[in-house]
Chain A
Amino acid sequence: MHITISMDFLVALTEFSFLQYALLAGLLASVGCGVMGTYVVVKRIAFIAGGVAHSVLGGMGAAIYYGYDPHLGALLAAIASALLIGWVRLNWRAQEDTLIGALWAIGMAIGILFISRTPGYQSDLMSYLFGNILLVPKESLWFMVSLDAVLLLMVAAYHRQFLAIVFDEEFSSLRGIPVTFFYLLLLVLIAVTVVLLIQVVGLILVLALLTLPAAIAGHYVHSLGRMMLLATLIGSFVSTTGLALSYEPDLPAGPVIILLAGGLYVLSAIFRRRHE
């Protein structure tokens, strides 16, 4: 059965450009989820990343209402939300979880109000929330390529400082590394990744794709560089396979990709426990 599904998918892939775009979008998103997801997992800031991802709806809604590109709105909102949440975490550590939880919901509420006031856009709400990889236009692919380029350049330039602050903040600040600056930069890059992934799985499911491939990679390799590489490969595998499996029965690709990643994570965790 699997073989027939993949054969149909492969034939369709050669025929339809929207499928080729979808495949490319999945691969481009995997780079972001592998590289930045590794930082999210080892620094244990999935909750912070979740807050950024969900509050992005506020920016998307506002952009739609005022007639701008929703992805530009998402990018600006993600960066603003990353800085705000980073600032909360650095200054109100005691109430960190309450405040981030509030920003998470407030951002979504703002977005839904804006969208409800925009005639004709309600139908798109589902694709923002859950993604629609089959509708990724060609221009979005260039947008994703540039986001990936920014991520890779920044990580190549500052991988030493990022390792220092995710590993040991106290030591980093004693060595005179500007911890606040690099912490906020890291959150902004995570925000960029969130926007990258929204194209594929939507903002509700982003968190899973940001954490699961890196977490699975962390079961087998023990350095940040290798985790990033393996997580990118795992991300590519689940997005491509998810797309292929969802094509024939006409299921939404986003949830299938997430279930694949989740299933793989559970299997990997069980396998690892048995071999310890």
Chain B
Amino acid sequence: MPHQQKPVISLDSVNFSYNEMSVLENISLEVFDGEFLGIVGPNAGGKSTLLKLILGQLQPRSGKIKVLGDTPCNKRHRIGYVSQHPSFPRDFPVTVEEVVLLGRLGMHNKSWLKSLRPGRYKAADYEAVKKALTEVEAEVLLHRQIGSLSGGQLQRVLLARALVSDPQILMLDEPTANIDQRLESDIFDLLKRLNERMTILVVSHDIGFVSSYVTRIACINQTLACHHTDAIDGQVIQSLYGEDVRMIAHHH
């Protein structure tokens, strides 16, 4: 892949710690337009923290982060994000359509005053919701209650909510952690298709599985070791996890 263009995301010697505990050390990483980056590593290795730094939800202790040439907070509206644990109760009285529509709020980097504009959704918003749900093959769920969905269906709906604002970058934190393993490849096939028009970062603990989909892998365990897919072998994994890990070959 030619990398003459500017990176869409760049981290320059980023350090982050929760209180006194260091979580990420000296992370430098550039992600280019059209990449499908898999972020792997052991639990509590700092993978989710990395995404939160890129979203501007957390501030680095030192180092610089740029998203689309600007600060994370100024560009976060161009990022679609699917978190690992949905932060809402499953029995909330709301339909799929209403949930996906929420992704249409705050679509532009408006001033604070403009974000107070009252009103209703427009026809274009409803159209965008239908399109996003069709894209994730969940258009039949439009009028379903959020509480009646299976884990896999909910994941598709949350993906649609992230897509409905037409983001330039899509970031997903363990998108297949709460769903049936048989559906894992469905979700990743979908992401592969979306990758044709947007940059994707996906956090996963399953290094063997994601390596067959992504264009590049970043291994995070406090520090960063970047590898292209073909460079993942037993030795790399062992140095990353610090113990013997059995490689399971995935064939597709």
In the complex formed, the residue of B with least CB distance to A223 is B93
Pick from B98, B118, B121: contact of A223, CB below 8 A: B98
A161:B105 contact, CB within 8 angstroms:
yes
Q: Tell me how many residue pairs across A and B have CB atoms closer than 8 Å.
A: 75
Q: Which of A161, A169, A173 has the most CB of B within 10 A?
A: A161
Count of B interface residues, CB-CB < 8 Å? 33
Pick from B92, B99, B115: contact of A177, CB below 8 A: B115
B102:A222 contact, CB within 8 angstroms:
no
Main secondary structure of the interface of A (DSSP, over half): helix
Are A157 and B87 also in contact (CB < 8 A) when A175-B105, A223-B98 are? no
The interface size bin for chain A is: 20 to 34
Pick from A156, A167, A169: contact of B94, CB below 8 A: A167
Are A168 and B88 also in contact (CB < 8 A) when A160-B105, A174-B57, A176-B109 are? yes
Kindly list chain A residues whose C-beta atoms are within 8 Å of the C-beta of B86. 168
Kindly list chain B residues whose C-beta atoms are within 8 Å of the C-beta of A181. 116
B110 nearest CB across to chain A (Å):
7
Encode contact with A along B79-119: 1 for CB under 8 Å, 0 otherwise.
00101001110001111001101110111011010011011
In the complex formed, the residue of A with least CB distance to B108 is A176
Pick from A156, A161, A167: contact of B88, CB below 8 A: A167
B55 contacts A by Cβ under 8 Å: yes
15 contacts between A and B (CB under 8 A): A156-B118, A157-B119, A158-B118, A160-B101, A160-B121, A163-B98, A168-B86, A168-B88, A169-B87, A174-B57, A175-B105, A176-B76, A176-B77, A177-B106, A223-B95
A residues whose Cβ falls under 8 Å from a Cβ of B: 42, 156-158, 160-161, 163-164, 167-178, 181, 218, 221-224, 227
| Beyond A174-B57, A176-B76, A223-B93, 10 extra complex contacts between A and B, CB < 8 Å | A160-B119, A164-B105, A168-B86, A168-B88, A172-B102, A174-B55, A176-B110, A177-B115, A222-B93, A223-B94
